[in-house]
Structure 1
């Protein structure tokens, strides 16, 4: 099991229609046609401005066996799009005076985290830009997944998932416990190889564990669970009433089943390191969040101050001083919000059975999102070119909505 940042789509905007060209079909007709010939079980999309939803709809099926439709109120995990919420929470914590981006994390944490190969303390800024030198060991990181109670034990993917997932009740089955065991000397899963040999701040290494650690800083300083902090400071103020970090039986009837490339359903799962990719939400709820972000991107205020939004979105690196290994497609970063080469700002998400994109486009002043209950990769771990192309076509169609 592996969560990653998806850099394979160009995410370019469509060109405006020229005078005299035929009128474009209605977005619903076009998207329904794209779904009909796609391999995606279901998906939902939204396009928003800073003040209203311009378009929002679901297509296909949330549960193939039950023939339950995928709607704008269907909830599913959105993978690393979750990190955009971590970014907002960190800036809120900065506004509350808990720390700043240059605070050394050992001044906050109740355990030691330091690169054993190189001198220099790790800072909050390095966590949010993936330059902390913390490396994900994929075998160990797989144990951050947990099978939820009531999952179908007879499902075709249950045994494989059970083999790799964390056993509830172990000391590392909590966010803080997992991080301490992985990152602190003496921890059961601590290895020197959990850190890059390059010094903190010198190179880019996408790290889910480093992202979860950033969220844990908020938990430590606030004295409340990260899930409680985000509900109080983000979800409730924005009216995101169906957004959770953990399974909620009250939302079970709206939960999407998620599928591998062969159409097999994964067992319902959660994440011990839940802030790095465990956000479960609907396109209806997430569009509320994105509207607030578009407003903040363009100088407004809301759940953050104007200065807070500036900090959230401003590039952390000068163009001529990018860290070694920075991805060509998204070379710069705000506070967990990735900055694409084409100027768009947001995040992608991928997890077993799910794919999600959410970006702000400065040129049009809009934000758009797409979430689907399947994954790009096939059994061999390689991206399925057909699914990638179908996802690209849907994403491009959203760019035509103003």
Structure 2
């Protein structure tokens, strides 16, 4: 049996479920130094993802670093397997755990305003909520954003995983409150205190802290502080029980168990991911967000520096150079320096990408199925192909 790729290992370890699982940023370790990509290299890669690897549709936005927010929007495949409808250019997709970077950015804005202290205990803001194998007195807001709290992920056990098998199809119409997600996370075994361990529960708690401090719903705060100021016209936080995608979008596909035939899985209740992964966006908007963040348009230098202070992503199969900050990941580029981003997986969609240190150059690639549900060989090929593409674009 072949060994899983680093991304596969990370996805499996984080229990790929319900829109809140982690996908590492597709940036890093492939490519020739200093090369200039052929004008069609992005399109060629998208075509290969569809025609060879079996992804229903692939979308990408490439920002060239010449002062424009977007350089090119490209698509491949079909937006609906049943009808053969075209893929909408820069169509809306569920961005999964990229949502964590939005939440972390809001928390750090509030830190800069003196409303939140990164090193204050979670108990300070959510008294009595975190009890069990981890106590809210013993962990900080920084621990939540950095995934060093020791709190288990609510996606690691029932109903997301049952008897070791991922069980997501039955959760398509399931509504749950954020506090209930926290309870599910606290029911999971704790991980070693201070050690990096990815947990979706951390970002539900971070979202609850934002609500407690601002006295407003998390979605409204994210909209007011990030989406509207950046004019992300095709990005939104779904409302309670809002299962459909509002704008033009390719349909999403899923398979359970992995390797079985894909089926359409576009409309889902976002409650099962909430602050850990519920936002809808487009490759273009997501590229603009990350470029703006790294370019200093959303955070003051002190808070951006905190966000970029990283710890190793200590997980079997993940390369040594991959690191995690406060809702932001870094990966070495083949041409030197770092690329920054996050990544996101949700049943039906996967989004990967990266931007350069100064935010000038960036790319986001979205596919209409989670790579982990394809047959193992195809999933590994998809991951490697996107890693190669992002490195090529950022090193050009």
Name the TM tier (shorter chain): 0.7 to 0.9
Asked if 2 retains the 8 angstrom alpha-carbon contact of 1:50 and 1:291, the reply is no
Q: Residues 388 and 78 of structure 1: is their aligned pair in 2 closer, same or farther, counting only changes over 3 Å?
A: farther
CA distance in 2 between counterparts of 1:79 and 1:271 reads 10
Specify the alignment match of 1:152 in structure 2: none
Counterpart of 1:314 (choices 284, 309, 317) is: 309
**Structure 1 equivalent of residue 170 of structure 2:** 163
Which among 206, 222, 225 is matched to residue 198 of structure 2? 206
Q: Which residue of 2 aligns with 1:102?
A: 119
Shift of 1:165: 5.6
CA contact (8 A) 2:79 2:85 kept: yes
2:21 matched to 1:30?
A: no
Q: Give the one of 331, 334, 337 matched to 2:328.
A: 337
1:263 corresponds to = 262
Alignment pair present for 1:279 and 2:274: no
2-structure distance, mates of 1:376, 1:85? 23
TM-score w.r.t. length of structure 2: 0.78
Match of 1:359 in 2: 354
- CA gap of 1:76–1:46, structure 2 versus 1, over 3 A, is same
Describe the superposition over 1:311-343 as per-residue Cα deviations: whole angstroms up to 9, x where unpaired.
22233x4xxxx6976954455322110222553
In structure 1, the partner of 2:225 is 233
In the alignment, which residue of structure 1 is the partner of 2:288?
288
Match of 1:43 among 50, 58, 67: 58
Report the counterpart of residue 385 of structure 1 in structure 2: 377
Q: How many residues are aligned here?
A: 355
1:80-229 correspondence runs (5 A):
80-116=97-133, 121-137=138-154, 138-140=156-158, 142=160, 161=168, 163-164=170-171, 167-168=174-175, 173-179=176-182, 181-182=183-184, 191=187, 193-196=188-191, 198-199=192-193, 201=194, 203-229=195-221
- Provide the rounded CA distance (Å) in 2 between the counterparts of 1:73 and 1:204: 34
TM-score when normalising by structure 1: 0.77
Which structure is larger by alpha-carbon Rg, 1 or 2?
1
CA distance in 2, matches of 1:347, 1:128: 13
Unaligned runs of 5+ in 2: 1-15, 162-166, 256-260
Asked if 1:254 is matched to 2:272, the reply is: no
Residues 119 and 106 (structure 1), Cα distance of their counterparts in 2 relative to 1, 3 Å cut:
closer
The answer as to whether partners of 2:96 and 2:278 remain within 8 angstroms in 1 is: yes
Instruction: Give CA deviations for 1:38-71 in whole Å, capped at 9, x if unaligned.
Output: 3111111122238322332222222222323223
Greater CA drift, 86-95 or 286-295: 286-295
